[in-house]
Amino acid sequence: MKTIKEELTTRDIVKIVCTGLGSGAPIDNKNGVLQFQTVCHNRPGEGSYKLYYYTSTQLFHCYTECSASFDVLELVQRATGCTLPKAGEFIRQITGKYPGRRGFDFIDQEENNLHWEDYDKKVADVDCSEKNSPISTHYLKLYDDKVPYIWHKEGISIKALQKFNIKVDYANMKIIIPHWDKNNNLIGIRGRALNPCEVLSGNKYMPVKCGTEYLAHSLGGNLYGINFNCDKIKETKKVVLFEGEKSVMKYEDWSNGENISLAVCGSSISACQIQLLEEMGVEEVIIAFDKMFTDNSSKEAKEYRSKLVKLGLKFPASMAVYYLWDDNNLIEYKNAPIDHGHKVFSLLMKMKKMIKGKMDSGDKNI
């Protein structure tokens, strides 16, 4: 079985270092040596061209701060701070290749599969007695106050982005999403990766890292947007539950600021989250989760409908529960109900389906 050095071509190396790690185009000195920017210890695009790659040995040597030789796996580790298995996964995603013993077959599958999306699901059943601890708001000063144009382009107003304190981390290519609890305490910060490599590796949304610490919190122990929207929810006794934070911001514009939406930040609803809704006196719940099927008559659609119904039956008898369902193929696969504009979302809201009525856990209209 081939080793990683035997499997990767020089073109692959260029793709890894330039596309993946952010070096400028390499300098070819015609002696079997390529010179890259020192992404091993500098931010993308900032280093000098003192990182040499020797095609004969397939080793890198940094002639500045690192002053060391290393292979491509260690380069990725140095540049990203990731583990060896994650470095292998990173290279696999960039090149599409699966080298052997010294490449990827030694990847710890448990770690490789433990993406932050899985982390989101695991915290759905947290112990309600374990509360999220506040963290310092000074962390937010590390990021740029400019709103992410990519989200504004999707239809989220600047006013909504500013209300939810959305920021940008240009150095690490992330959109910054602060999370607050019902008492307006900052309890965690999530980042939406803009680097295609991170997205492909399953780390699209994950807690941001500050130094050696991840600013993580129990997603299942909170509801995103609760600090901003709890008063309106208490007033109307209604709530719309989305999967992701971005949908709550879009609802802000759809409702003209009369926002009664929250995000569970995953595809499950925890007992703690239901308890938070009970504390706000909620009597009507609308589950507006992402569309996870392409054909209404498919097995996947039937299973997904069954999942939504089971989620709805978790709520107490004091709450009527509905869910949004796309019978007319109005939204795309894996999109949120609000992703296709106000008109489509309004139509889906009008066609919402009942799981159970208030004070009656048996009747269903599914």
Cβ neighbour number for residue 149 with a 10 Å cutoff: 11
Query: Fold for domain 226-356?
Result: Dna Topoisomerase Vi A Subunit; Chain: A, domain 2 (3.40.1360)
pLDDT surpasses 90 at 81: no
Confidence class of residue 91 from pLDDT cuts 50, 70 and 90? confident
Q: Give me the architecture of the 4-113 domain, per CATH.
A: Alpha-Beta Complex (3.90)
Euclidean distance between CA atoms 273 and 182, whole angstroms: 11
Q: What is the mean pLDDT of residues 85-105?
A: 61
**What percent of the residues of the chain are helix, what percent strand, and what percent coil, each to the nearest 5?**
35, 20, 45
Euclidean distance between CA atoms 277 and 133, whole angstroms: 20
pLDDT averaged over the chain?
85
Euclidean distance between CA atoms 85 and 101, whole angstroms: 12
Q: How does pLDDT run across 39-71, given as a tens digit for each residue?
A: 998 887 778 999 999 988 889 999 998 888 888
Q: Determine which of 180-189, 194-203, 300-309 has the lowest per-residue pLDDT on average.
A: 194-203
The set of residues, in sequence order, having a beta carbon less than 8 Å from that of 175 and lying 6+ positions away, is 148, 150, 151, 166, 167, 168, 169, 191, 192, 194
Parallel, antiparallel, or unpaired for β 284-287 and 320-323? parallel
Residue ranges, comma separated, of all CATH 3.40.1360.10 domains in the chain are 226-356
0.85 surpassed by pTM: no
Confidence class of residue 109 from pLDDT cuts 50, 70 and 90? very low
Query: Fold for domain 116-218?
Result: DNA primase DNAg catalytic core, N-terminal domain (3.90.980)
Q: What is the mean pLDDT of residues 262-277?
A: 94
User: How many Å from the N-terminal Cα to the C-terminal Cα in the chain?
Assistant: 53
Q: How does pLDDT run across 196-251, given as a tens digit for each residue?
A: 777 776 778 889 988 777 898 888 899 999 999 999 999 999 999 999 999 999 99
- pLDDT number for residue 3: 55
- pLDDT number for residue 360: 52
Q: For the chain, how long is the longest CA-to-CA vector?
A: 79
Q: Are 61 and 75 in contact (CB under 8 A)?
A: no
Residue ranges, comma separated, of all CATH 3.90.580.10 domains in the chain are 4-113
Distances (CA, A) of 105 to 58, 89, 124, 229: 20, 10, 31, 48
Q: Determine which of 96-105, 253-262, 275-284, 336-345 has the lowest per-residue pLDDT on average.
A: 96-105
Euclidean distance between CA atoms 348 and 342, whole angstroms: 10
- pLDDT number for residue 102: 33
